[in-house]
Amino acid sequence: MKKSFFVLGVAVAALASCTNEEVVDMPQSRAIQFGTFVNHSTRSSVTETTEQNLQKFFVFGNYDDSWTSVYTNVQVDGGTVGAEGTVWNPTQTAYWINGKKYRFGAYSNGGNKIENAEFNATSRVLTFPNYSV
């Protein structure tokens, strides 16, 4: 009888150790970061993007149905163009919120910030009032 209780106790202990819910492959930081990826490149006569001509860009970001602002013309830098696995970090930290739908718009103007740039998340349009080339 003692042997049955001992075996039962061992079985309960073994099963109890399996009830811990661990999340695997969860990133250490939920901070929003950007990376580079080109899925369908196209041919054009546009200047090639290199480390020399892209060292930072500016981003707008919104989430949810009401398009709550996350980023408004925030500088993003630190990445390396064409280097796989590099991360571009916004100068203002924001974190992903589970279950929210995000939209981002970004631009680079030779490293210069366009102060009156605007992003409409609903229409997915970036505008630059009074901008000339």
Domain housing 84: 29-127
Q: Using one digit for the tens of pLDDT, what is the confidence trace for 82-111? A: 677 778 889 999 999 999 999 999 998 888
Reduced to 3 states (helix: H, G, I; strand: E, B; else coil), residue 68 is strand
70 vs 38, residue with greater confidence: 70
Residues with Cβ within 8 Å of residue 91, at least 6 apart in sequence: 74, 75, 76, 77
Q: Based on the structure, what is the number of domains in the chain?
A: 1
115 vs 132, residue with greater confidence: 115
Does residue 9 carry a pLDDT above 60? no
Looking only at the bridges linking them, the beta strands covering 56-63 and 118-120 are unpaired
Does residue 59 carry a pLDDT above 90? yes
Is residue 8, in this structure, part of any structural domain at all?
A: no
Q: In 19-32, which positions are buried (b, 16+ CB within 10 angstroms) versus exposed (e)?
A: eeeeeeeeeeeeeb
Does residue 32 carry a pLDDT above 50? yes
Is residue 44, in this structure, part of any structural domain at all?
A: yes
